């Protein structure tokens, strides 16, 4: 297993934040950084995914691996994520239905878009495998499937010209904002909760950022000089979030999405805030890592196994919501729900690594 590093550490923190934020109403929610800014852990997660692609598609010497290998690697990852999404959605629906039956409480069937599935399974099961029917809080992996699916285009293009890859990505982002392009939900109306056509920009920024960060001392020194700017942006974000200041989307001039705070479309305000977060906290890992002791190792282990941890975390959040609902909330319930969840996330990471260390029998004897 690789040693703790900044990427795994921050990704681990994003996973913990997402886990806690996906149990709405719980006491610890207000202590996550998502409450104090315009952007949240989702941005960090997608950006770091792009950064990781940059690392994964190069050898240790920084030379890019063969193109076909990159394409196959990303394809295989896409399938892995897709499979994970189907698995956790199935389990989530069963957990919701099972709990509704046991508690004799059909209200639970209306849980964040699940109602569509239970009311109209014939159409919805098709939407389910097409990823166009998404449960609330289970909509990040569909975004991932699309992003990693289209990543080869950007990765290979960036090998020819980073500028071209960035231009393509920015162009798609800006056009989607102007024309409000998004992938449709089906059955039912509306669009995806995370618009892949906009969010791809963060993945590409992460990927290109990793490349530049490695080879350009000029960029590194500028990034360090911009720390004060980052801090100013973060401070502004805190003020806007705490005082609930945001533009009225109905009054926003056209093209509307350039001016609103909209998570679906990763609108510019969120993007700028996220870049501010990056600038402000870029060197923080070096300061924190030695001082946090085992916490560093814990978060990094989550980050190393992000797909498994995210998947289990999603199900644990759902279970946490149902337990809170049943038990009526309260600090004691929240401490036990969140506490046991964090232990379970750590166990998941450990378990996945234990399994990969364990030699498997060469011939299956079943």
Q: Which of residues 181-240 bind another protein (CB under 8 A)?
A: 185, 187-190, 193
Q: Which of residues 68-107 bind another protein (CB under 8 A)?
A: 80, 83-84, 87-88, 91, 93-95, 97-107
Cβ of residue 209: shortest distance to another protein, in angstroms? 26
Binding residue for another protein, selected from 62, 136, 228, 255, defined by CB under 8 A: 136
| 352 near another protein, rule: CB under 8 A | yes
Binding residue for another protein, selected from 74, 208, 316, 338, defined by CB under 8 A: 316
Is 181 within 8 Å of 197 (Cβ atoms)? yes
Cβ of residue 250: shortest distance to another protein, in angstroms? 5
Give how far Cα 22 sits from Cα of 34, 175, 322, 326, 341, Å: 11, 31, 12, 17, 12
Q: Which of residues 323-342 bind another protein (CB under 8 A)?
A: 323-325, 328-329
| 36 near another protein, rule: CB under 8 A | no
| 246 near another protein, rule: CB under 8 A | yes
| 44 near another protein, rule: CB under 8 A | no
Cβ of residue 116: shortest distance to another protein, in angstroms? 4
| 169 near another protein, rule: CB under 8 A | no
- Burial status of residue 183 (CB atoms within 10 A of its CB: 0-12, 13-18, 19 or more): middle
Sole residue written with tokens 């920009």: 201
Give how far Cα 50 sits from Cα of 56, 85, 148, Å: 10, 19, 9
Q: Which of residues 9-28 bind another protein (CB under 8 A)?
A: 24-25
Cβ of residue 345: shortest distance to another protein, in angstroms? 10
| 317 near another protein, rule: CB under 8 A | no
Q: Which of residues 250-289 bind another protein (CB under 8 A)?
A: 250, 252, 256, 260-264
- Strand-pairing partners, residue 76, are none
Binding residue for another protein, selected from 32, 123, 213, 236, defined by CB under 8 A: 123
């Amino acid at each position: 297993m690789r040693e703790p590093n900044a990427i795994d550490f921050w990704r681990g923190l994003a996973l913990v934040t997402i886990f806690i934020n996906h149990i709405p109403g719980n006491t610890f929610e207000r202590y996550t950084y998502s409450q104090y800014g315009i952007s949240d852990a989702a941005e960090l997660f997608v950006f770091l995914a792009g950064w990781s692609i940059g690392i994964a598609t190069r050898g240790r010497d920084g030379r890019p691996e063969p193109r076909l290998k990159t394409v196959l690697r990303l394809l295989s990852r896409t399938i892995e994520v897709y499979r994970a999404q189907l698995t956790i959605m199935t389990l989530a629906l069963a957990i919701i239905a099972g709990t509704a039956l046991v508690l004799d409480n059909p209200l639970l069937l209306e849980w964040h878009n699940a109602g569509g599935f239970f009311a109209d399974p014939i159409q919805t099961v098709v939407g389910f495998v097409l990823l166009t029917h998404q449960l609330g809080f289970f909509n990040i992996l569909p975004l991932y499937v699309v992003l990693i699916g289209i990543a080869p285009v950007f990765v290979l293009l960036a090998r020819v010209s980073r500028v071209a890859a960035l231009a393509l990505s920015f162009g798609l982002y800006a056009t989607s904002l102007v024309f409000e392009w998004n992938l449709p939900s089906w059955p039912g109306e509306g669009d995806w909760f995370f618009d892949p056509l906009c969010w791809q920009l963060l993945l590409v920024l992460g990927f290109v950022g990793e490349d530049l960060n490695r080879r350009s001392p000029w960029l590194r020194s500028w990034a360090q000089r911009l720390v004060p700017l980052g801090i100013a942006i973060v401070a502004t974000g805190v003020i806007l979030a705490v005082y609930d200041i945001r533009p009225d989307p109905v009054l926003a001039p056209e093209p509307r999405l350039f001016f609103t705070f909209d998570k679906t479309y990763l609108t510019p305000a969120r993007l700028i805030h996220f870049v501010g977060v990056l600038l402000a906290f870029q060197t923080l890992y070096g300061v924190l890592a030695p001082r946090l002791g085992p916490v560093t190792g814990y978060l990094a282990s989550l980050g190393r196994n992000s797909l498994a941890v995210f998947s289990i975390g999603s199900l644990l959040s759902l279970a946490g919501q149902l337990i809170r609902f049943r038990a009526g909330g309260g600090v004691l319930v929240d401490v036990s729900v969140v506490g046991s969840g964090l232990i379970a996330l750590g166990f998941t990471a450990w378990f996945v690594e234990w399994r990969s260390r364990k030699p498997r029998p060469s011939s299956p004897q079943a």
